[in-house]
Structure 1
Amino acid sequence: MSERTRSLGSRWLGIGLATVLSVVTLGLGVTGRLTLYISPESVWFACAAAVVTLIGAIWSCTLPLGAEEGHDHGHEHAESGRLGTTATVAGGVIASGVVVAALVLPPASLSVELAMSRAGESTALFAGADDVTLGKADTSTFGVGDWASVFATATNTASYDGTTVTLTGFITPGKDGVDLTRLVITHCVIDAQPANVPVTIDAGEYKTGQWVKVTGTVKADADGALHVDPTTVEAIDEPGDPYEY
């Protein structure tokens, strides 16, 4: 491989890929779709980092091609250079494929897929767990994730009996019927955890993955287990922001 070709490959793997990913990040941020991958609190940081990267990429274009590489031409260095070239080509193919996928594939949520693959994991997600366990928390702003924590950890479940709720999520199979599910993320979809709330709905009425808006009442069974008894269930399209945080 010629020195010029190697230099071009190195520049593409470094500045080239970083520039493309930065442009994609800014595009997703401007259109509001970056929250399909990271939490809203992290959007500003990701966009700022993308801007800094683009500034660095523009500056790097003022350097002569190959200036970022060393020029030791010893025998041992030549041998390691051949190994490095092989690694560079392999890495370039993989990294370029990722970038092309980011450009070609439309942004999409991973809600249903992740929830089903992580079924059975803990749903005690609410930060105020002590309030939920020891008393009755303020539920006025609760989403599916918060209610999943209540259902999983509250000891005084009778205090929640009769509470009116309006929740949005998608249908998944539950232990004893149907669950209303939502993915809760802290930073990005990599750390997403499914939150499940049992709802009294006919298992055959809605297919798995169907998004619904449920209005109803929290009910406590004789054994203290909680579920949502719906008064209305409305099938809806996936919301623009499918996650809870």
Structure 2
Amino acid sequence: MAAVTRAAQAVMLSVLGILMLRIGLTDEHLRYVQPWMRWGVLATGALLLLFSLAYLWADDEQEQHGHHDGHPVPLSAWLLLAPSLVVALVAPQALGEYVAERRANVTPAAPIAYFEPLPAADPLPMKVSDFVSRAQLDTEQALTGRTVTLTGFVTREGDAWHVTRIGINCCAADALAWKVEVAGADAPAERSWVRVTGQWRAVTPDPTASPPTPIVEAASVTSMEAPRNQYE
């Protein structure tokens, strides 16, 4: 029984290890974690493969000494491989409109008192999350009169459309969404990637209501390929 048990454990660990190495060696890891965590994914995959070899080595040692202890791996344990096989065969896409609909434009409870001065570049490339924070919390209204460029994917809400971006601090589990309504331009295809250049439309906030979705008056909207890393 031990040989079956050890071999089964080695198979499960090796499958997980190979999957982790594949994710870490390709851009697939960018769908799950921040780029700097790639080395952790690779290290985990390598350790799992080492553990699988250790199980096989222990099994050989027991065979040589005539020991046969342990129990066969139950079917429920093999089911642990199912998620790994699904990821291996059907890689999920990066987070998109589902998260955008549920976690959009979450801002701190207390207003941010200070922002760094904006660079002098014109048009100014900005993260969608930075634009939202400035529009909602910057009391100096430094965006006024500035031409900015925002990059993101297209989402729809009624007749309005937005340039949207997903942000993660650590991994996809803590994802938040940031979106800016685009005015003055026809909506491209939903989920397509665009580069929007325009100016912020200032509005008078209602202190009794949640901050409104910021609006950019578009001067141009350009289609583009999805970036290598789709998260901010």
Q: What is the TM-score when the length of structure 1 is the normalising length?
A: 0.73
Distance 2:78 2:23 in 1: 24
The gaps in structure 2 that reach 5 residues or longer are: 207-211
1:147 paired to 2:131: yes
TM superposition shift of 1:185: 0.6
The gaps in structure 1 that reach 5 residues or longer are: 73-80
Structure 1 residues 104-161: Cα deviation after superposition (integer angstroms, max 9, x where no partner): 1135212233323x24x44327xx94424xxx6436663011112222322333x321
Give the structure 1 partner of residue 144 of structure 2. 161
Number of residue-to-residue matches in the alignment: 216
Distance 1:230 1:106 in 2: 35
TM superposition shift of 1:231: 1.2
* Secondary structure of 2:201 counterpart: strand
Correspondence for 1:49 among 44, 47, 52? 44
1:207 paired to 2:202: no
Is the Cα–Cα contact under 8 Å of residues 6 and 59 in structure 2 kept in the other structure?
no
Amino acid at match of 1:96: L
Higher helix share: 1
After superposing on structure 2, the runs of 4+ consecutive aligned residues of structure 1 that deviate more than 4 Å are 69-72, 222-226
TM superposition shift of 1:11: 4.9
Change (3 A) 1:11 1:186: farther
* Secondary structure of 2:36 counterpart: helix
TM superposition shift of 1:28: 2.4
* Secondary structure of 2:126 counterpart: coil
Give % identity. Answer: 22
Q: What is the TM-score when the length of structure 2 is the normalising length?
A: 0.77
Distance 1:48 1:31 in 2: 14
CA RMSD of aligned residues (A): 3.3
Distance 1:178 1:218 in 2: 15
1:8 paired to 2:4: yes
Alignment of 1:50-199 (within 5 A): 50-64=45-59, 88-93=74-79, 95-116=80-101, 118-119=102-103, 121-124=104-107, 129-132=112-115, 137-138=117-118, 142-157=126-141, 159-174=142-157, 177-199=160-182
Is the Cα–Cα contact under 8 Å of residues 151 and 193 in structure 2 kept in the other structure?
yes
Distance 1:146 1:209 in 2: 21
